[in-house]
Structure 1
């Protein structure tokens, strides 16, 4: 069956059947994934918000500036 025909039939489905179809397709995609995607004893970098104090300071200064603007103050508070 051509994809265009299938898509037109999917559009006619009720919402619950569309959700079930999504769940089915997601499960099928997982089954097709390579089981050896991650290799043992290999490091994979993961970003973490810990030790990001500079970014936190920038955000705090931005929030303080916005609060001052809201209150009608012009002086900047340094945190």
Structure 2
């Protein structure tokens, strides 16, 4: 199927199917780059700011320092 025909078919898809197509294409591109990049059904850690009180303390100290510098 020529790309122009494929594109016209894609335009007719509902939004959710277009999103699924995007996900499929992104996964296919990753597979071409590195077959071991993502493994299906495996969990990957994602950093979250929750329970990071140390980082919050550093930011609060920085803000306090800057405020004191401005006030004299």
Q: Flag the structure with more relative contact order, 1 or 2, with Cα contacts below 8 A and sequence separation at least 6.
A: 1
Larger Cα-atom Rg? 1
TM-score by length of 1: 0.45
TM-score by length of 2: 0.49
